[in-house]
Amino acid sequence: MTSPFVRRQRLATELRTLREQRGITADELSKLIFRSRTTISKLENARCRPDLGDVSNILNALGTTREKSDEIFGIAREATARGWWDAYGDAMGSRQRLYADIESGAATVREYNQFTFPGTLQSPEFIRLMIKLAESEGKIDFVPERMLDARLRRQEHALGKDGPHYEAILDEVVIRRPTAPPRVMLGQLRYLIETMLGHPRVTVLILPLEADFTGRLLPLSAFSLYTFPDPDDPPMTVVDTVSTDIVHIEHDEVMRYNQRYEHLRQAALSGAASLGLLTDAADALENRIGPLP
């Protein structure tokens, strides 16, 4: 399906552009359609699921042509759609819902992570560990019992036959630094290897510790890059921070992250070499702690 989140971003841009082209302020528009200034702001900043009646009234108030109105109203209808993640409500947390929504309509996903395994590539045991660690920090915005199911549902789509082409660059420190009990770590490495071998649209590249980044800047945070089948849906970047995810759709910002990603890709090992490194790391850990049951 087309991502409702992406459609809300596009609807926001279309409505704001139309209003500005007509030389009407947001306050003036709110009076024309008998709605609050806040309603206009939320629509133009993609902060809510749009009300189709409001969108229709805005298009009429701005004197939009029939052809343009039909186009924008179609975008608005897709922006109101609900995906499988909506059935979980707050149980899976707002951050997981965001990623599930964007991935649902993506053509390609590329991401970089320097500290942990991306959610799309985590084994069930590793997910359980992450849930426990989140609980230990205090208040959480999800239901632990439902989170595992939701994360696995997200993986099912992202790695399924209708999912996007997916590429991840992992810093070698993710493989080398113990961030989980040895048996969980071994299971995660084996799970990652099986995913790489079993899904032709999935590529995992390792950025080696000795990679020379002289003259280039390493990203300060994990981030994901998305493209979409509709060429009118602009590429998007989502930057992962400790407490929130920052979405960029501005061309210059997205291009900056694209450039950082290309630098990482140039310095990363090939797919075959990355698979070899992961296999060697898993074998070494298994030799030390024994095979999984």
Same domain? For 125 and 265 the reply is yes
Same domain? For 100 and 229 the reply is yes
Residue range 92-114: mean pLDDT, rounded: 95
Residue range 183-192: mean pLDDT, rounded: 98
pLDDT tens per residue, range 2-20:
999 999 999 999 999 999 9
**The last residue of a domain, from among 58, 79, 100:** 79
Same domain? For 203 and 277 the reply is yes
Same domain? For 59 and 91 the reply is no
Same domain? For 192 and 63 the reply is no
**pTM, 2 dp:** 0.92
Structural domain harbouring 235:
84-289
**The last residue of a domain, from among 64, 79, 94:** 79
pLDDT of residue 176: 95
Same domain? For 108 and 42 the reply is no
Q: Is 243 a residue whose pLDDT tops 90?
A: no
Residue range 175-179: mean pLDDT, rounded: 93
Residue 209: alpha-carbon gap to chain centroid: 26
**The last residue of a domain, from among 23, 54, 79:** 79
Q: Is 248 a residue whose pLDDT tops 90?
A: yes
Question: What is the per-residue DSSP string for the chain?
Answer: ---HHHHHHHHHHHHHHHHHHTT--HHHHHHHTT--HHHHHHHHTT-SPPPHHHHHHHHHHTT--HHHHHHHHHHHHHHT---GGGGGGGGG-HHHHHHHHHHHT-SEEEEEESSS--GGG--HHHHHHHHHHHHHTS--SS-HHHHHHHHHHHHHHHTSTTS-EEEEEEEHHHHHS--S-HHHHHHHHHHHHHHHHH-TTEEEEEE-TT---TTSPPPSS-EEEEE-SSTTS--EEEEE-SS-EEEE--HHHHHHHHHHHHHHHHHSPPHHHHHHHHHHHHHHHHHHH----
pLDDT of residue 49: 94
Same domain? For 174 and 210 the reply is yes
Same domain? For 161 and 239 the reply is yes
pLDDT tens per residue, range 188-220:
999 999 999 999 999 999 999 999 999 999 999
| Total structural domains within the chain | 2
CATH number of the domain that 24 lies in?
A: 1.10.260.40
pLDDT of residue 24: 95
pLDDT of residue 77: 97
Q: Is 161 a residue whose pLDDT tops 90?
A: no
β-pairing verdict for 202-207 and 165-171 = parallel
Same domain? For 166 and 42 the reply is no
Q: Is 116 a residue whose pLDDT tops 90?
A: yes
Tell whether the torsion through CA atoms of 125, 129, 134 and 138 is positive or negative: positive
The residue count for the chain: 293
Same domain? For 186 and 126 the reply is yes
pLDDT of residue 90: 87
pLDDT band at residue 1 under the 50/70/90 scheme: confident
Same domain? For 25 and 70 the reply is yes
pLDDT tens per residue, range 66-86:
999 999 999 999 999 999 999
CATH number of the domain that 250 lies in?
A: 3.30.870
Same domain? For 102 and 221 the reply is yes
